[in-house]
Amino acid sequence: MNIENIKKQFPIFNNKVHNNDLVYLDSANSSQKPQVVVDRIYDFYTKEFSNVGRSVHYLAVAATNLYEETRSLVQKYINAKDPNEIVFTKGATEAINLVANTFGQKFLKEGDEIILTELEHHSNYVPWHYLRRSKGVQIKFAEINSDGEISLESIQKLISPKTKMIAITHLSNVTGAILPIKEITRLAHSKNIPILIDGCQGAPHLRIDMQEIGCDFYAISCHKMYGPTGLGILYAKKKWLEALPPYQGGGGMISEVKKDGITFGDLPNKYEAGTMATAQVIAFAESIKFLNQIGIKNIEKHENELTKYGEEVLRKNNSVTLVGNPKNKGSVLSFTLDGIHAHDIATILDEDGVAIRAGHHCCQILHDKLGLAATARASLGIYNTREDIDKLNESINKCKKIFNK
Amino acid sequence: MDLKELYQEIILDHGKNPRNLRKTENFNKDAKGHNPLCGDKVHVYLKLDEDKKVQDISFEGQGCAISMASASIMTDLVKGKEEHEVKEIVQDFLEMIKKKDKLNNKILEENEKTKLMCLSGVKKYPMRVKCATLSWHTLTSAIDNTQEEINSENID
Ligand SMILES: Cc1ncc(COP(=O)(O)O)c(C=O)c1O
């Protein structure tokens, strides 16, 4: 696999940042977009645009078919049983809110318990927190170990007869820890507890197979998967989508509307109220094709090697401390630098065209636990190379020089 | 080069060894500030005497070099000033950081103004302006006794 050729497919790298080549190390935040995805959006708007699922004219039918084609592609990509188990949302955030809201409405009552982990992104905590307020449910956090991992036992310990949902990340966007989601799913199901996986960081980097994992819900963020912004995916087992109430009300999701009552439409329309992010959905088909063309096995292999290389290089740099040390680690390298705040690091690196993220990465619970106000994070994508890691390290050394460290 | 302007020696010095990083005993005014985007926190303590003069000012908190240096320089400069003078300096500083080329107040000495102008390097880094202004907004809140935590996302 030739990474330089893959990188060439991303037009962003034709631009300079502060007169330097761009070293993009912020893919956990959002990935860059290949030309085919950008072109697809342009082509759709210039040649094929119509709203979907409403009109019977030529353009509407064609657009509807394209829209549904993406659904089928996604279904195959994640090996869901049924295309109707794929719901488009505005992002992973909305996907999780959808589940928390509808599941909470129908199945939760005061005193019920939800298990999360200390690794969760605010997107997989705040929606459940609402239920704490509206329903009086309790939230328990499975604790990380000293390597920043979540073990099966840490979750097992918290399960009680009152546990009604387990919602956990697939791959931590801070420590990079990959959770044993298959085992946790087996555990949950052995106690009849449904499980939601926040797959924002899992889906772009790892092979995911819904039937093999067996989870009830899996949330995906398309903009982190070389796809457009404004789009996410909720995978949910059909039995849940049938059992849960609709989330938002509006056009497209109804069956019959009378003055004295409304019946709701069938799947998948039930959860796709209003005009959806049509162009984004249609362009996302190109992201899936792009991923398929490279092959997720190759992506995993490349990113794994690069993550290991990154760990090695940063460990050798004696002022750098990596955040977490999980054995099973995905493409995230969070770190601190002795005596230099993450924001100063990010500003100095930026001057060299090295784009990283600094802050708590929407994981304040984790940062509090680690006793860190902020960390710097370099996260990888398919276009990154060893040279990028070397440039990162060089710029870190420049920080040290500026701060006389 | 812009980076050198941002991280001037004086900023690095105050960032590394912040002055007045402690809690004033018997403070009579205080306020907290918080930047939810980066997690920076600051708590400013003031002790005003009967004539409303700043007898002591201090701060606690953690943050980047810019925010620590800004709080450090701020506390150094407003000590001994009268409350209305402090407000004027804060106003002048905030206007300078946002748009003006220089400080216009007649309260600070020239060398003090030069010191404060070292922070003007952030103007080229819009994302970092809040790092420099958080402690100043928090000081205003302490003086006005608003009892409200300053959230850098809700100020401009
Ligand atoms: C682990 C995790 N969960 C949830 C989200 C939110 O995803 P989205 O931007 O699609 O709403 C993110 C992205 O920032 C994330 O990294």
In chain A, domain spans: 3-29+295-402, 38-292
- Which CATH architecture best describes the domain A38-292? 3-Layer(aba) Sandwich (3.40)
Residue B139: both structure tokens together: 């000081």
Residue-level pLDDT at A76: 98
Residue of chain A whose Cα is closest to the Cα of B124: A347
Record: contact B39-A364, CB cut-off 8 A: yes
Chain A residues within 8 A of B65 when measuring between CB atoms:
340-341, 344, 403
A288-311: average pLDDT: 97
Q: Is residue B66 part of a domain?
A: yes
How sure is the predictor about B155, in pLDDT bands with cuts at 50, 70 and 90? low
Residue A358 contacts B, CB cutoff 8 Å: yes
Domain containing residue B87: CATH number: 3.90.1010.10
Chain A CB within 8 Å of residue B38 CB: yes
Q: Does the beta carbon of B39 lie under 8 angstroms from any beta carbon of chain A?
A: yes
Q: pLDDT tens digit string along B51-68?
A: 999 999 999 998 999 999
pLDDT in tens, A134-185: 999 999 999 999 999 999 999 999 999 999 999 999 999 999 999 999 999 9
- The DSSP bridge partners found for residue A217 are A196, A236
Q: DSSP secondary-structure letter at A223? A: G
DSSP assignment of B54-78 equals EEEEEEEEE--HHHHHHHHHHHHHH
Domain count, chain B: 1
Whether residue A200 has its Cβ less than 6 Å from ligand 1: yes
Q: Is A173 in the pocket of ligand 1 (CB under 6 A)?
A: yes
pLDDT above 70: percentage of residues in chain B: 97
Domain limits for position B25: 2-144
Give percent of chain A above pLDDT 90: 92
Write the residue in A344, A360, A402 that is nearest to B39 by C-beta.
A360
Does the C-beta of A119 come closer than 6 Å to ligand 1? no
Interface check B12 vs A, CB under 8 A: yes
In CATH, what number does A3-29+295-402 get? Answer: 3.90.1150.10
Who contacts A112 (Cβ-Cβ below 8 Å, separation ≥6)?
A135, A137, A138, A162, A163, A164
Residue B2: list chain A partners with CB under 8 A: 351
Phi-psi region for residue B146, left (φ > 0), alpha (ψ -120 to 50) or beta?
alpha
Question: Is there an atom of ligand 1 within 6 Å of A278 CB?
Answer: no
Residue in A340, A348, A364 nearest the CB of B3? A348
Among the listed residues A128, A353, A106, the one whose alpha carbon sits nearest the alpha carbon of residue A219: A128
Q: Is residue B134 part of a domain?
A: yes
Predicted local distance difference test score (pLDDT) of residue A256: 87
Ligand 1, atom nearest to A172 Cα? 1
d(CA B148, CA A152): 42
pLDDT at residue number B1: 53
Q: How far does A294 lie from chain B, in Å, by closest CA?
A: 36
**pLDDT averaged over every residue in chain A:** 96
Query: Which residues neighbour A338 within 8 Å (Cβ) at sequence distance 6 or greater?
Result: A319, A321, A405
Q: pLDDT digits over B1-23, tens only?
A: 578 889 999 999 999 999 999 99
Q: Classify residue B152: in a domain, yes or no.
A: no
